[in-house]
A and B are shown apart, each in its own frame.
Chain A
């Protein structure tokens, strides 16, 4: 179905009703998606768990003290390890739950394009991730009290984490669009994410392919982000992952028409 083609109304057709612009529709759906996290316990649980685990990973090994200087690197490392866990939890229900309960039919039969639904849901989920990340901002603020902190790399690092986390979210959205069960969606996305996460830990076994595997591994990109360096290679990587996953989601959503 060529939803983008605004076909000229055929002769004798009744005038078409009003439809929103792609931007407005996307934002309407994103807003609803985002708000829905906070009208159920899920949003609070995800953020609470995230904060707890970040705190544990940062403070338990006293990493930031051992290094002996004020650095956010342990924090960013901790967050980057948690993203493959927390993002699937955020994304798991985006499509799975809606197709299970049937609300997806209600949504898709509104005058919206599939792409708007997918992008809206992705942005809504990424929005929750953004809130979760923002809550950890307390750490750099505390650390900055203990010594000089260069804010440039901190902000760059957060931006990178948001982008990388969004890539995991897009993976979760894609997986969610293939199942009606959000728990399945969670575990599948977690496993796939974890495999990619581990890719650069295995270069010894693959020898020559190591650099390719490294590039495919999100953790490899997070390492440079944790140092506060967000370069174009990282951005391109994460944006590519997001694009591929959302396009795959579109395929999955489109296939319902033909099956």
Chain B
């Protein structure tokens, strides 16, 4: 039975000195999935990827890539893997084609097929214009594409990409994401990032790690929905009231009034111009409070310029999980073993 699990981590742990960079990580990534590996800086994303690509060894636990154990057969693991490390470090003095030839040679692609393979990855990664250049002359975006091309040269079934869009401008970033989506149609891809819009654009599934642990696993929308909270964005005219009524004097007044509408809701000001107080209220997702907000505005004589209700964004889920969990786990570890530190 050929396994469907392409990337598997079991109790993966990496300890640097006294710090647990990766702490009993467990996950499976199946054939054909594009999975976003999310987390704040220092959460253990890169460390995990370095273990999966056999650059470093786990302190405890096991990992398998395509069924091959990273500890027992690193060569087999690397042979089925395309890896783009963070900031794709390439030899700056080499030409683009020269570098890809080097990569193809190390991948033992027969000489007769090398040209064809290089042509193919050049096309996939949009490198045609950079072919004659040295890597050192390329922009970050193009370097990243060369890194991607290198990872694809042997047509691997599994790709691990560590922050493929870091340091790129929005256009380059969008392009690289397009390439990854195209590549991911026939492959298993695990990509790390802290850019959530990218994840929404390309990944069907998200793993969120924090402090070396998985704190969430699921489809981006699902995760957002699961948090069970919604937000309302409400804009009140700052200059003019309703039919001669007065506009609210300060944003504080607005915040207070709006918070009073929803039980357990929290309100905060969003950035806005000097025409309107734009306020966000987050609340439990069960009921729809839009009517009440409208009524409030009418009662107060405020001009309602904007009112919408939406599910909590992935960004906020991310923040809740990582910042919240941060505080929680810090509390826990402190109370658990306050003597262990120092």
Contact = CB atoms under 8 A, between A and B. Distances in A.
A13 interface: yes
Nearest to A100: B89
A16 B80 CA distance: 6
A66 to B, nearest CB: 44
Nearest to B86: A102
B94 interface: yes
A36 B89 CA distance: 15
A258 B108 contact: no
Given A17-B107, A19-B108, A109-B83, A9 B67 contact: yes
Given A9-B76, A13-B3, A105 B89 contact: yes
A1 B71 CA distance: 6
Interface in B125-181: 147, 150, 154, 156-157
Interface of B is mostly: loop
A24 B105 CA distance: 8
Contacts of A1: 54, 57, 71, 74
A182 interface: no
Interface string B1-43: 1110010000000001000000000000000000000000000
B89 A110 contact: no
A9 B85 CA distance: 26
B89 A10 contact: no
Contacts of B81: 109
A24 B108 contact: yes
Nearest to A107: B106
A7 B72 CA distance: 7
Contact of A17 (B71, B79, B147): B79
Interface string A1-29: 11101110111111111111100110011
A28 B75 contact: no
Given A108-B55, A110-B103, A112-B106, A13 B89 contact: no
A185 B297 CA distance: 72
A113 B75 contact: yes
B108 A36 contact: no
Nearest to B85: A105
Contacts, number: 134
A145 interface: no
Given A28-B106, A259-B16, A14 B93 contact: no
Contacts of B55: 105, 108-109, 256-257
B88 interface: yes
Interface of A is mostly: loop
Interface-centre pick from B3, B50, B76 (highest chain A CB count, 10 A): B76
Contacts of B195: none
B66 A28 contact: no
A18 B79 contact: yes
A9 B72 CA distance: 10
A22 to B, nearest CB: 11
A32 B102 contact: yes
Interface string B252-281: 000000000000000000000000000000
B204 interface: no
B196 to A, nearest CB: 25
Nearest to B92: A101
Nearest to B80: A17
A28 B102 contact: yes
Given A17-B156, A20-B108, A12 B88 contact: no
B72 A5 contact: yes
Contacts of B3: 12-14
Interface string A240-256: 00000000000000001
A102 B105 contact: no
B305 interface: no
A124 to B, nearest CB: 12
Nearest to B56: A257
A20 B154 CA distance: 12
B64 to A, nearest CB: 8
B231 interface: no
Contact of A109 (B67, B85, B154): B85
A48 interface: no
B93 A40 contact: yes
Nearest to A42: B93
Q: Lowest 3 A-B CB distances belong to which pairs? A: A13-B67, A102-B89, A17-B79
Given A103-B90, A110-B107, A113-B75, 9 more contacts: A9-B76, A10-B69, A14-B67, A16-B68, A20-B107, A28-B106, A36-B94, A106-B90, A259-B16
17 contacts: A5-B73, A7-B72, A14-B157, A16-B76, A17-B80, A18-B109, A32-B102, A36-B91, A101-B89, A103-B90, A105-B89, A106-B89, A106-B90, A109-B54, A109-B55, A110-B78, A111-B78
Interface of B: 1-3, 6, 16, 50, 53-57, 64, 66-69, 71-76, 78-81, 83, 85-91, 93-94, 102-103, 105-109, 147, 150, 154, 156-157
